[in-house]
């Protein structure tokens, strides 16, 4: 395995494995086969998601203190069933794009569900739970499909970056969640405007990052991790675009950065969930988990298919897909806001 010398020590970057795979198997068909280890990993993820779906279906009945059925326009029109087919389809689409491009689930799904008539307290907590589960699962599958290596001793740069993003992102997420939902009680309209501005800015940034290889500059991660955590706490989305584009601007290869984003987002969502449940049990907010089962179902195939596609398709393709998708998100929400 290739390493990089730093201060007299050998540092494992963690993205050599993806580079070596493309070098050793340059043809797409050569990277399509699944080995025994990969098939076992897929079976583990499916079993885990079946367990989480059972828990999500139970939570959708709002059995806990601080949970209630919120009478949003969407629930009034669609009824109180705990599984919505069209939400499942949206979850499959956006989770696939999120796990493969490092962005798009909460960023695209949050404003879409708001526009369709769901209340923020039905959307944001459910997205946090779903992204926590999907983030850890996708990070695991990215490793199994050789898109990234997570190594503790000596710590790989991929794990170091993920932990750094987690620390800055978690702090910013907890602060923004508390400020926007518990202290200032920010309106639903403000959240829509904020997410719209976020996507427009991320679309502009993505247009300039695909200009060849860049030297690795870890110092930039501090800013992007903090900004991404703030966005996640406010709207349930906006974490992926900032972290993924920021990581690429910092010199991390696109395939590996999508895996790092998945792991960091999973940990950040976990810390945010702890705060949400504290606010819920103390009576400061009331949550409705009616969307959670549909989101969990939609994640089943996506967290497996997306890392697999990242593995088999060449990096040069993903270096175009990521900025194009980010721009598409920006245009989509801009049209929705104008209309």
Taking only the tens place, the pLDDT of each residue in 78-120 is 877 888 888 898 889 889 988 887 777 877 787 778 878 888 8
Confidence of residue 189 (pLDDT cuts 50, 70, 90): low
Cα 112 from Cα 159, distance rounded (Å): 33
List pLDDT tens digits, range 33-74: 888 989 999 999 999 999 999 999 999 998 988 899 998 888
Q: Can you list the alpha helix ranges (DSSP code H) found in 60-187?
A: 73-78, 85-101, 105-115, 120-144, 157-177
Is the Cβ–Cβ distance between 37 and 144 less than 8 Å?
A: yes
Cα 104 from Cα 90, distance rounded (Å): 11
Those residues with Cβ within 8 angstroms of residue 15's Cβ, 6 or more apart along the chain or in another chain: 148, 149, 157, 158, 252, 253, 255, 256
pLDDT at 209: 55
- To the nearest 5 percent, what fractions of the chain are helix, strand and coil? 75, 0, 25
Cα–Cα distances in Å, from 123 out to 69, 105, 118, 210? 13, 12, 7, 33
Q: Furthest-apart CA pair in the chain: how many Å?
A: 65
Confidence of residue 1 (pLDDT cuts 50, 70, 90): very low
- The DSSP line for 226-284 is HHHHHHHHHHS-SHHHHHHHHHHHTT--HHHHHHHHHHHHHHHHHHHHHHHHHHHHTTS
Is the Cβ–Cβ distance between 125 and 287 less than 8 Å?
A: yes
Cα 109 from Cα 91, distance rounded (Å): 8
Please, how many CA atoms are within 13 Å of residue 129, restricted to the half-sphere of its CB? 26
Residue 14: which of 203, 167, 179, 162 has the closest Cα?
162
Question: In the predicted model, what is the mean pLDDT of residues 294-314?
Answer: 90
Least confident residue range of 12-21, 231-240, 278-287, 318-327: 231-240
């Amino acid at each position: 395995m290739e390493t990089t010398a730093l201060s007299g020590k050998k540092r494992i970057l963690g993205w050599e494995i993806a580079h070596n795979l493309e070098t050793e198997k340059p043809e797409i068909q050569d990277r399509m086969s699944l080995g025994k280890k990969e098939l076992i990993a897929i079976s583990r993820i499916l079993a885990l998601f079946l367990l989480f779906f059972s828990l999500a279906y139970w939570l959708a009945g709002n059995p806990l203190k601080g949970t209630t059925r919120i009478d949003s326009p969407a629930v009034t029109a669609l009824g109180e069933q705990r599984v919505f087919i069209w939400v499942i389809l949206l979850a499959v689409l956006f989770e696939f794009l999120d796990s493969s491009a490092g962005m798009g689930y909460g960023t695209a799904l949050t404003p879409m569900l708001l526009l369709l008539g769901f209340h923020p307290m039905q959307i944001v907590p459910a997205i946090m739970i779903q992204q926590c589960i999907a983030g850890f699962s996708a990070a695991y599958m990215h490793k199994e499909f050789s898109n990234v290596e997570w190594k503790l001793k000596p710590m790989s740069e991929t794990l170091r970056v993920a932990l750094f993003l987690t620390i800055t992102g978690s702090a910013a997420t907890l602060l923004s969640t508390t400020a926007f939902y518990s202290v200032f009680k920010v309106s639903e309209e403000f959240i829509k405007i904020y997410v719209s501005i976020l996507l427009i800015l991320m679309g502009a940034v993505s247009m300039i990052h695909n200009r060849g290889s860049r030297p690795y500059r870890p110092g930039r991660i501090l800013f992007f991790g903090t900004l991404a955590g703030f966005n996640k706490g406010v709207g349930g989305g906006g974490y992926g675009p900032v972290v993924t584009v920021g990581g690429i601007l910092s010199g991390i290869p696109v395939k590996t950065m999508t895996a790092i984003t998945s792991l960091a987002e999973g940990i950040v969502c976990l810390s945010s969930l702890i705060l949400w449940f504290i606010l819920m049990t103390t009576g400061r907010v009331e949550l409705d988990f009616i969307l959670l089962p549909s989101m969990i179902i939609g994640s089943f195939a996506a967290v497996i298919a997306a890392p697999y596609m990242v593995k088999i398709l060449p990096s040069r393709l993903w270096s175009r897909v990521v900025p194009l998708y980010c721009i598409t998100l920006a245009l989509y929400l801009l049209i929705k806001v104008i209309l």
